[in-house]
Structure 1
Amino acid sequence: MGVFTRTTRGGAAAAAVAALALTAGLGFGRLASAQAPDDAPTPGKLVYDQYCAACHDKPEPGSRAAPVANLRKMSAQTLTTALTTGVMKPVGDQLTRRQMRELVEYLAAPEGPLGTAWIEKAMCAPDRREVDLSGPPAQLGFGVGQDNGRRMSAAQAGLKTRDVADLEVAWTFAFPRTSSLRSQGVVVGSTLFYPAGQTNYVLALDTRTGCVKWASELPSPIRNSLAVGRLGPKGPLAVVGGDNAGQLVALDAKTGKIAWRVDPRHDKNVPLSGSPLFAGEKIIVPVSAMDVANAMRPTFECCKSHGAIVAVEAATGKTLWTWHTMEDAKPLGRKTSHGVETYGPSGAPIWSSPAVDLKKGVVYTATGENTSPPATKTSDAVVAIDLATGREKWVFQALANDVWNMSCPVGPPAPGRPLNPNCFFANEGSVLRDHDFGGGPVIFKGSKGRDVILAGQKSGEVWALDARDGKVLWRHQFGPGTPLGGVHWGIATDGVRVFAPISDPNVPADRSAAGLHAIDVATGKVAWQWKAAPDCEGDRKTRMPTCAGKYGLSAPPLVIDGAVLAGSLDGRLWVFDAAKGDVLGVYDTAQAYQAVNGLAGAGGSIDAAGIFAGDGLVFVSSGYAAFGQQPGNVLVALKPRAK
């Protein structure tokens, strides 16, 4: 079998060529002017000062903007993607091709040709490249099971509570041109399938050594966490993920060859941020929205995009049905202070993983805020959808009138402070909170057949809803919540308790709930709480410059046997006793590593991608440069410490 699998088919190839042409056209060699004095600003510095410095030179606490030091650790490819199709597209749209080239040259980390040596050096010996798919997957995807509960038995993980209390490094794998690890992998037998950072590869790694069994090159990097399942009743086992181009990709797990690559989106400008999930012969795909960032540009016609849930046929990728969070936006008949037409309703993106009850035939999902009026009942909400038809069964809205985009303040506008043009609705009833459900709902099997839907919100609230009709059974709020705080990426359950991680970055200590909170689901009473605290002792301040303000838990936790594992924004992996909340162990991933593939690795913030496990190892994606956090580029595989 060959080492690499490359895509060269149809539209996928055209997209890849277009992306490469753009990158090549930008020309990332450093430029110098023979007529400029030695101390004159470079052209790229002038572009940066005009378009970027106000946000990135000294980001305010709690800002989503990355400090310029973090931008300088990003590759030219990553920066170009952000400016052309990513969150910084509103800025990129204002630049000429020359300005963009100069800006990327100024910011990008120095780099040589990417090549494939970082893969080739880690190839397994020929007799160890076989991918054995005879056993069940350790997890189906982001939520472990279809209930999205992020719970693994000792048998699934190959680990018991005592094993995860004391961990040491088994191996690490580092990814080139990567500053953030956003995706979670899946384990089947002795093979780990993992999106290779911000490169275009998906890798099949040997769980015990980290060597590469196969490497599949895609037209665009995978953006979300992988799911695993069978492509139809007689189809092959496959790993599926959404890429940066908005395409859903299915790879044959045995060989890494692309089975199909399709576009399930109703709007070709929105990303696939949440992770897909196999549901019988269907794959459920969450669809996000993009205008929350586009609205920063004063001349942008705000706002049109909205979220959706799509069911595709697993065998072919064909779209079967789409549930929309709202109707298509229409002109509102008014213009902004810049004379630009306005549109609505918009928003309610779905950037979390869904849950599916196959027996009852229901999909559960959760949404974000509206980005322009009129406010809809589906924003900041939990929704039940019929699996067979895509029809809405019920909607529970946790926060009404949360119309917000990144041109707006958080909370009431300051008196006398002018509003940005695309926050034209700020004084018309919006609460301006940005309190999404960033984590997907969890199906909790209650007593006497009374199932409960659990959900965590960026407001810091945890909700328990009756699965039959969405009515509230109980709720708890931990801390004040922020756009990047509260429950950010998800919750977990051990079958008795629900575990809510709270991040609360830069919230004052007397108001912060940063830590882990356990609630007894049956009674709704708080079982235990653990409060996180900063650790900037010794060389940690150097390794983790943001340690004083960003140390809460943002990534979703994982239950293994009787333990709960949770990663923190300062790079630490915490292990708790699920019943009592006692800290059983801690491991600091924010370190330098020499990876098995020959690259220097560096750990950083743990965010977005959850901890996962399988075949007797725990896997941590360490490094997340967004939101001013600590970059990193390393997958850390941990094993029980040898006695």
Structure 2
Amino acid sequence: MKNSFVFLLIVMAQSLLQVESNCQTGEWISHGGDLKNRRFAEDEHLISVWSAPHLSEKWSFDAGADISATPAIYDCVVYFPSWNGLVFAVTIHGELLWSTNLTEITGVATLSRTIPAVTEELLLYGLLGPARGVALHRKNGRMVWMSEDLDETPLARITMSGTAYDGAFYVGMSSLQELVKAACCTFQGSFQKLDLKTGKRIWRTYMAPENSGLAFIGTGNLYQIPSDVQDCLNRNANSSDCYPRGVCDDAVVAVNMPDGEIRWCNRLGGNDVWRLACDTNPPPANCPPEPGPDYDLGESPMLLTIPSRFSKNKFQDIVVTGQKSGIVWAHDRDDGSLAWETTAGPGGFVGGAIWGAATDNHRVYTNIANSGSATFQLVPSGGSTTAGGWVAMDAATGRIEWSTANPHSARAYGPVTVANGVVFCGSFDKDGHVLALDAESGPILWERTTGSTVYGGLSVGHGCCFVGTGYSWDPLGDALGGTPGSELYAFCV
């Protein structure tokens, strides 16, 4: 009897250790999943090309409003915001641990649309306005600190999901000034470093001059340009020579982490001066004579390593990002030189490549939203579609290996995710399909409806994929025809 009791204790202890060990894996700590921003669930082994067809709904959680951010996963807990201003902590089994109202704890009417950057103690959010960073205690949702206004101009906001690293929180600023007819424009895009313990700003680096360790980021369009630059553009076909040093619009930028100094900046958009307000009739007086296409770098850069093209048995560190033009770019991390570029599909006002690519170090995967319903040639099959779709490229060369059309005749705005040979993606159709594709060749392994538009991406861990639904509260989502939703789903094998 005594031996049986001892054996039972040993079995129970092993089971507890197994649970604890499992909670130390399956983490998804930022928009890109890890510090390399790869959207790659590298520790996932339960989901595979063989098990993915058997994914089924394990649970759903009603957040009360749209969920458009990729959920974070840490210590067997899923963290995510909703468009009603609440942020949630729910176990991987669907049990609510806590929820926090950002308006109540900050004292300002606000919300966050971003996945939190997760550390052992903190959840770090950017506010949609005013442009502030907020740190919550990970285990109870209480506010630890709120930064000062990180940009003082009207309509400044934080759309970017930041990154926590080595005692600091890195985050970029954006603005809605391009939407208004008022005199344009006082906003300057910037990338900032905050102290992780206090939220105090350590440095701020602007992506354009005033109108008078490396971190890698992508930027968007300009709102306006000085008259001397416009005169130069009128005289010269090569617009790149007209821009002064320090203008990093539609660019991949490498920034020194200690001091914020720009190491290199590669502009990829040509002359892209654009404001939505200029599409109105009559337009404001200060609109550019030839508006650009608004080809932002809509995907955060990913860090990966490929075989060197120049030296056998050597490797090259590159940074890869997709653009709303539909082009995917790979640059050398050290000097910014171009490693490869690939036109994955048609560009558009809302993409093109948008919100997030993925890589498993063998291939780079991206969505093509095809917001303009252009003819999207599917390489190498030879077919075509006017819907959105998904594309896989060889990580070393950029060569397209497969393209898969969205079978539901809809855009494909959400970022993609890869896990153990399976690519996960979402469709913008009103029924909200989520899909799993074979990462090697692109066929659909599994799909499921969620009942409302899927705009955000899926995170993967513990044999499950987690995804939020709905995109209607944001005026852009409403304009694009997004349907309201409020559910976080867990689909598991």
TM-score range, shorter chain: 0.7 to 0.9
1:323 alignment partner in structure 2: 205
Check if 1:204 corresponds to 2:55: no
Which residue among 447, 469, 475 is the counterpart of 1:622? 469
Query: How far apart, in 1, do the equivalents of 2:404 and 2:286 lie?
Result: 38
The change in CA–CA distance for 1:444 and 1:144 in structure 2 (over 3 A counts) is same
Structure 1 position 319, deviation (Å): 0.8
1:490 alignment partner in structure 2: 356
Check if 1:214 corresponds to 2:98: yes
After superposition, give the CA deviation of every residue in 1:303-344 in whole Å (9 maximum; x if it has no partner): 1112111011111111111111112224xxxxxxxxxxxxxx
Check if 1:306 corresponds to 2:188: yes
Structure 1 position 133, deviation (Å): 11
1:582 alignment partner in structure 2: 443
The answer to whether the Cα contact below 8 Å between 1:380 and 1:397 also exists between their aligned partners in 2 is yes
1:112 alignment partner in structure 2: none
Check if 1:568 corresponds to 2:427: yes
The answer to whether the Cα contact below 8 Å between 1:167 and 1:638 also exists between their aligned partners in 2 is no
Structure 1 position 385, deviation (Å): 0.3
Query: How far apart, in 2, do the equivalents of 1:446 and 1:479 lie?
Result: 23
After superposition, give the CA deviation of every residue in 1:567-600 in whole Å (9 maximum; x if it has no partner): 11112111111112121111121x2xxxxxxxxx
Unpaired runs of 5+ in structure 1?
A: 1-130, 231-236, 331-360, 410-416, 535-547, 592-603
Check if 1:612 corresponds to 2:430: no
The answer to whether the Cα contact below 8 Å between 1:137 and 1:186 also exists between their aligned partners in 2 is no
After superposition, give the CA deviation of every residue in 1:492-526 in whole Å (9 maximum; x if it has no partner): 11111101210113514467472111110212211
Structure 1 position 170, deviation (Å): 1.3
Query: How far apart, in 2, do the equivalents of 1:253 and 1:266 lie?
Result: 26
After superposition, give the CA deviation of every residue in 1:529-586 in whole Å (9 maximum; x if it has no partner): 112243xxxxxxxxxxxxx5xx132111001111110111112111111112121111
The answer to whether the Cα contact below 8 Å between 1:200 and 1:218 also exists between their aligned partners in 2 is yes
2:178 aligned counterpart, secondary structure: helix
The change in CA–CA distance for 1:561 and 1:285 in structure 2 (over 3 A counts) is same
Structure 1 position 134, deviation (Å): 7.1
The answer to whether the Cα contact below 8 Å between 1:264 and 1:319 also exists between their aligned partners in 2 is no
Whose strand fraction is larger, Structure 1's or Structure 2's?
2
Identity of matched residues, %: 25
Query: How far apart, in 2, do the equivalents of 1:147 and 1:384 lie?
Result: 14
Which residue among 273, 277, 295 is the counterpart of 2:163? 277
Query: How far apart, in 1, do the equivalents of 2:71 and 2:178 lie?
Result: 28
Structure 1 position 636, deviation (Å): 3.5
Query: Structure 2 length normalisation: TM-score?
Result: 0.81
1:7 alignment partner in structure 2: none
Please give the residue correspondences for 1:400-411 in structure 2 after superposition, counting only pairs within 5 Å.
Answer: 400-409=270-279
The answer to whether the Cα contact below 8 Å between 2:29 and 2:74 also exists between their aligned partners in 1 is no
2:147 alignment partner in structure 1: 262
Check if 1:515 corresponds to 2:389: yes
The answer to whether the Cα contact below 8 Å between 2:184 and 2:286 also exists between their aligned partners in 1 is no
Query: How far apart, in 2, do the equivalents of 1:369 and 1:462 lie?
Result: 17
After superposition, give the CA deviation of every residue in 1:429-474 in whole Å (9 maximum; x if it has no partner): x5x2011111111111223241111110111111111112112222
1:165 aligned counterpart, secondary structure: helix
The answer to whether the Cα contact below 8 Å between 2:344 and 2:400 also exists between their aligned partners in 1 is no
Which residue among 169, 173, 177 is the counterpart of 1:291? 177
Check if 1:145 corresponds to 2:34: yes
Which residue among 371, 377, 383 is the counterpart of 2:223? 371
Structure 1 position 252, deviation (Å): 1.0
Q: Which residue identity is paired with 2:122?
A: A
After superposition, give the CA deviation of every residue in 1:236-267 in whole Å (9 maximum; x if it has no partner): x1111112332211111122211111135133
Question: Once structures 1 and 2 are overlaid, which stretch shifts more, 508-517 or 493-502?
Answer: 508-517
Please give the residue correspondences for 1:536-547 in structure 2 after superposition, counting only pairs within 5 Å.
Answer: none
Structure 1 position 418, deviation (Å): 7.0
Query: How far apart, in 2, do the equivalents of 1:440 and 1:614 lie?
Result: 21
After superposition, give the CA deviation of every residue in 1:574-631 in whole Å (9 maximum; x if it has no partner): 1111112121111121x2xxxxxxxxxxxx2211x21112233211111112133232
1:147 aligned counterpart, secondary structure: coil
Check if 1:439 corresponds to 2:270: no
Which residue among 103, 117, 128 is the counterpart of 1:227? 117
The change in CA–CA distance for 1:485 and 1:258 in structure 2 (over 3 A counts) is same
2:74 alignment partner in structure 1: 188
Query: How far apart, in 1, do the equivalents of 2:283 and 2:111 lie?
Result: 33
Query: How far apart, in 2, do the equivalents of 1:419 and 1:280 lie?
Result: 50
1:557 alignment partner in structure 2: 416
After superposition, give the CA deviation of every residue in 1:171-223 in whole Å (9 maximum; x if it has no partner): 112233x2x3232321123211221x222322211211x22112222223222
Check if 1:458 corresponds to 2:324: yes
After superposition, give the CA deviation of every residue in 1:20-60 in whole Å (9 maximum; x if it has no partner): xxxxxxxxxxxxxxxxxxxxxxxxxxxxxxxxxxxxxxxxx
The change in CA–CA distance for 1:258 and 1:581 in structure 2 (over 3 A counts) is same
Q: Which residue identity is paired with 1:621?
A: G
Query: How far apart, in 1, do the equivalents of 2:58 and 2:486 lie?
Result: 13
The answer to whether the Cα contact below 8 Å between 2:71 and 2:458 also exists between their aligned partners in 1 is no
Check if 1:173 corresponds to 2:68: no
Query: How far apart, in 2, do the equivalents of 1:165 and 1:478 lie?
Result: 27
Structure 1 position 364, deviation (Å): 0.2
1:162 aligned counterpart, secondary structure: coil
1:477 alignment partner in structure 2: 343
Which residue among 101, 123, 136 is the counterpart of 1:251? 136
The change in CA–CA distance for 1:425 and 1:637 in structure 2 (over 3 A counts) is closer
Query: How far apart, in 1, do the equivalents of 2:49 and 2:75 lie?
Result: 20
Structure 1 position 157, deviation (Å): 7.2
Give the aligned CA root-mean-square deviation in angstroms: 2.3
1:529 alignment partner in structure 2: 403
1:499 alignment partner in structure 2: 365
The answer to whether the Cα contact below 8 Å between 2:40 and 2:418 also exists between their aligned partners in 1 is yes
2:50 aligned counterpart, secondary structure: helix
1:629 aligned counterpart, secondary structure: coil
Q: Which residue identity is paired with 1:239?
A: L
Query: How far apart, in 2, do the equivalents of 1:206 and 1:387 lie?
Result: 34
The change in CA–CA distance for 1:579 and 1:479 in structure 2 (over 3 A counts) is closer
The change in CA–CA distance for 1:578 and 1:240 in structure 2 (over 3 A counts) is same
The answer to whether the Cα contact below 8 Å between 1:385 and 1:393 also exists between their aligned partners in 2 is yes
The change in CA–CA distance for 1:253 and 1:424 in structure 2 (over 3 A counts) is closer
2:139 aligned counterpart, secondary structure: coil
1:241 alignment partner in structure 2: 125
After superposition, give the CA deviation of every residue in 1:324-378 in whole Å (9 maximum; x if it has no partner): 1112224xxxxxxxxxxxxxxxxxxxxxxxxxxxxxx110000010011137531
1:445 aligned counterpart, secondary structure: strand
Unpaired runs of 5+ in structure 2?
A: 1-19, 104-109, 230-242, 308-313, 376-383
Query: How far apart, in 2, do the equivalents of 1:191 and 1:132 lie?
Result: 14
The answer to whether the Cα contact below 8 Å between 1:407 and 1:423 also exists between their aligned partners in 2 is no
1:543 alignment partner in structure 2: none
After superposition, give the CA deviation of every residue in 1:63-120 in whole Å (9 maximum; x if it has no partner): xxxxxxxxxxxxxxxxxxxxxxxxxxxxxxxxxxxxxxxxxxxxxxxxxxxxxxxxxx
Q: Which residue identity is paired with 1:192?
A: V
1:538 alignment partner in structure 2: none
The answer to whether the Cα contact below 8 Å between 1:494 and 1:578 also exists between their aligned partners in 2 is no
1:221 aligned counterpart, secondary structure: coil
2:378 alignment partner in structure 1: none
Query: How far apart, in 1, do the equivalents of 2:49 and 2:124 lie?
Result: 30
The change in CA–CA distance for 1:439 and 1:309 in structure 2 (over 3 A counts) is same
